[in-house]
Structure 1
Amino acid sequence: MAVFTPVPFDTARNLLLRLGLGELQNLEGIEGGIENTNYFATTDQGAWVLTLFERLTAEQLPFYLRLMKHLAQRGIPVPEPAADARGQLLHSVCGKPAAVVNRLAGKSVLVPEPQHCAAVGDMLARMHLAGRDFELRQPNLRGLPWWNETAPLVLPHLDEAQAALLREELAYQNHIAASSRYAALPRGPIHADLFRDNVLFDGDRLSGFFDFYFAGVDTWLFDLAVCLNDWAIDWHAGRHDPLRAAAMLDAYQAVRPLEAAERQLLPAMLRAGALRFWISRLWDWYLPREARMLKPHDPAHFERVLRERATHPAFILSESATA
C-alpha cells in the first residue's frame, strides 16, 4: 500500500455516494506497501478502503475482485468489493481503475506466536479449498516467468556473490518447474503475499486476510511456503523457526493434508518463495517508482532467507503433519 495518485476528497465522496456507502467523513492515505494507491475512507455508514491500481490493468482486475467476492461469500474473512447499481466491482478514480472494499476489524500481529501461525495455517487451507470452484483463471503474475524476465534488470546492481546466488537459484527453480513432481502439485487460486502485515487479528481471533492483488492460480504449496518464509522465520537471521512452522503446518494439514509430491517439494518451494521476494525487493529498491509515502523494503532480508533455505534444505515435517 502507498500513495502514488492523490485523490481529491470530493472525488472519493462522489464514488462512495454512488456505491451507496454513505457520506464521506474522513479520507486518509495509507503508508506501507509498494504497488497501489490506498486510502482509508470513513463514512457515516462504516469504514472502507479505496484502492487505485497503478500497475494492474482493467483486464486483469476482475480476477482479483471476483475472487475476493467468491471467498467472502464462502465464509473466508476477506474484504468484499462494493458493487455499483449495475453490479460492477471495478470503478474509475482519477483516470485509474479502482475498487472499494470494507475495512476489516483487527490489527496485524508482527511478532507472531505459534497460535497465530496455527490460525493462519488453518484459514489458508480453508481458503484454498474454498477457491476450488472459482471459475476465472489468471496465472501468478509474479511467478517464474516474471523472475526470469526481471533477474537481468537487477543483476547489474549486485556484487559477484549475490549475482552467483541469483543465477544459481533461478536455474534450480527452472529445473524444478520442468519436473513431473512439480506438475503433480495441486493448484488453484492463491494469495501469494500472505505476510504478517496482510493478516488481521481481533484479539485472539483471526479476523481477516487482505491485499489480494498479487493473487493468481499457482500451486497451493507455493502459497504455504510464502507464509512459512514470513511467519516462521527468525527475522534478524532469516533462519527457520521449527515451533512456529510446525504450528502452521499441523493446522493447515488438519484441514487439507499435503500430498506426497508436496511433502517432497516443500524445501524447493521454500527456496522459490524466498527467491520471488528477493527479486521483487531488488527491483523495487534499485528501480523505484515515484510515490508519496513509498517505503521500499530492504532486499537483504530475503537474500538471507534464501541463503538459509538453500544451505539447510532439510525441512522436517512434524510427526503429526506427516501422519
Structure 2
Amino acid sequence: MAVFTTVSQDEIASWLLDYDLGTVRDFRGIASGIENSNFFLTTERDGHTQQYVLTIFERLSFTQLPYYLHLMAHLAARGIRVPAPIPARDGEILRALKGKPATIVTRLPGSSQLAPDAGHCAEVGDMLARMHLAGQDYGRSQPNLRSLAWWQQTEPEILPFLDGVQRDLLRDEIAHQAAFFASADYAALPGGPCHCDLFRDNVLFEDTPQGGHRLGGFFDFYFAGHDKWLFDLAVTVNDWCIDLATGALDAGRASALLQAYHAVRPLSETEAAHWQDMLRAGALRFWVSRLWDFYLPREADILQPHDPTHFERILRQRLATQALPWT
C-alpha cells in the first residue's frame, strides 16, 4: 500500500455520493506497501461513525479485479475474517475514481504484530487453513500472477543489476523451480485460492478484555490467485517464523504455525517431501519482486521500497538448511 494517485477530501466526498455511507469525517493516505494507493476513510451516518479502506488500483485492471474482490466477499460470507467489499447504490463493488479502478472495503480491527510469538503464529496457521478450505467452492479462477512464468519473464530485466554470484543464484533457483513445477509431485499437490502475500503487515491482531489477543483478520488480497496451498503456507512461514536479521527459521514459531494449520487441514506426505522446495519458491518469488521494485521503481507520493537482500538471505538459508521444521 502506498499513495501513487492523490485524492482530495472534496473529491472523495463527491465520489461517495454514489454510496450510502454518510458524510466523510476523515480521509488520509496509508504509507506502507508498494502496489496500490490506499486510504483510511471514516464516515458518519445517523450519528454513528464507521471506518473503511479505500483502494485505487495502479496495476490491476477492471478485468482482473473481480477475482480478488469477490474472493474476499466469498470468504467473509463463510466466516473468515477478511475485509468485505462495500457495494455502491447500484450494487457494484468496483468503480472508477480518477480514471482508475477503486473499491471500498470494511476496515478490520486491530494492528499488525511485527514481533510475533508462537501464539500469534498458531492463530495465523489455524485461520490460513480455514481460509484455504473455505475457498474451495469459490467459482472464479485466476492463476497466481507472480508465479513461475512471471519469475522467468522478469529475470532478464533484473539480471543487469546483480553481481555474478547473485546472477548464478537467481538462474539456478529459477531452473530448479521450473523442474519442480513440471513434476508429477507438483501436479498432485492440493490447491485453490491463496492469499500469496500473507506477511506480518497483512494480518491484524486485537487486544482482548482478558489481556490477551485475538486475530482480527487477513487483508490485502490483491496478490491472491489459485496456487498450491503449500506455497501459500511457505510464503507465510518465511515471514512469520524467521529471524529477520539472518532469515533463519525459528523452529518454535514454525512448528506452532504448521501444527495449527495441520490440525485443520492435514498435510500429505507429498507436501512434507517438498516443503523445502516450497520454502525456496516462496523466497524466490519475493526476492524477484523486491529486486524489480527496487531497481525499476514507479513514482509515488508515498513509497517505501523493501530491501531485496532480505529475501536473498532467506533463499540462501533455505538452500543451506537440510533439517527444516515440519509438523
**TM-score, normalising length from structure 2?**
0.96
Alignment match, 1:117: 121
Offset of residue 52 of structure 1: 0.3
Alignment match, 2:183: 179
Contact 1:11 1:93 in 2 (8 A): no
Offset of residue 220 of structure 1: 0.4
Gap runs ≥5 in structure 2: 208-212
Contact 1:118 1:250 in 2 (8 A): yes
Alignment of 1:1-323 (within 5 A): 1-44=1-44, 45-203=49-207, 204-317=213-326, 321=327
Local SS of the residue matching 2:104 = strand
Contact 1:226 1:270 in 2 (8 A): yes
Amino acid paired to 1:6: T
Task: Output the CA distance in 2 between the equivalents of 1:257 and 1:296.
Answer: 37
Local SS of the residue matching 1:306 = helix
Task: Output the CA distance in 2 between the equivalents of 1:132 and 1:80.
Answer: 18
Contact 2:196 2:232 in 1 (8 A): yes
Task: Output the CA distance in 2 between the equivalents of 1:161 and 1:22.
Answer: 57
Contact 2:254 2:325 in 1 (8 A): no
Local SS of the residue matching 1:139 = coil
1:246-301 per-residue CA deviation (whole Å, 9 max, x = no partner) reads 00000000100001211111110000000000000000000000001101000010
Contact 1:267 1:314 in 2 (8 A): no
Which sits farther off after the overlay, 20-29 or 211-220?
20-29
Amino acid paired to 2:282: G
Gap runs ≥5 in structure 1: none
Local SS of the residue matching 1:101 = strand
Amino acid paired to 1:210: F
Task: Output the CA distance in 2 between the equivalents of 1:5 and 1:59.
Answer: 20
Local SS of the residue matching 1:202 = strand
Offset of residue 87 of structure 1: 1.6
Alignment match, 2:210: none
State the superposition RMSD in angstroms.
Answer: 0.8
Task: Output the CA distance in 2 between the equivalents of 1:131 and 1:140.
Answer: 15
Task: Output the CA distance in 2 between the equivalents of 1:310 and 1:170.
Answer: 13
Offset of residue 228 of structure 1: 0.4
Amino acid paired to 2:87: A
Local SS of the residue matching 2:90 = coil
1:91-135 per-residue CA deviation (whole Å, 9 max, x = no partner) reads 110000000001111000000000000000000000000000000
Contact 2:255 2:325 in 1 (8 A): no
Offset of residue 314 of structure 1: 3.0
Which sits farther off after the overlay, 296-305 or 10-19?
10-19
Offset of residue 9 of structure 1: 1.3
Amino acid paired to 2:28: E
Amino acid paired to 1:309: R
**TM-score, normalising length from structure 1?**
0.97
Task: Output the CA distance in 2 between the equivalents of 1:11 and 1:83.
Answer: 19
Amino acid paired to 1:137: S
Task: Output the CA distance in 2 between the equivalents of 1:281 and 1:275.
Answer: 10
Task: Output the CA distance in 2 between the equivalents of 1:15 and 1:264.
Answer: 52
Task: Output the CA distance in 2 between the equivalents of 1:7 and 1:313.
Answer: 50
Identity over aligned pairs, percent: 58
Residue 164 and residue 104 in structure 1: after superposition, are their counterparts in 2 closer, same or farther (change >3 A)? same
Offset of residue 85 of structure 1: 2.2
Aligned pair count?
318
Task: Output the CA distance in 1 between the equivalents of 2:185 and 2:21.
Answer: 48
Task: Output the CA distance in 1 between the equivalents of 2:262 and 2:50.
Answer: 36
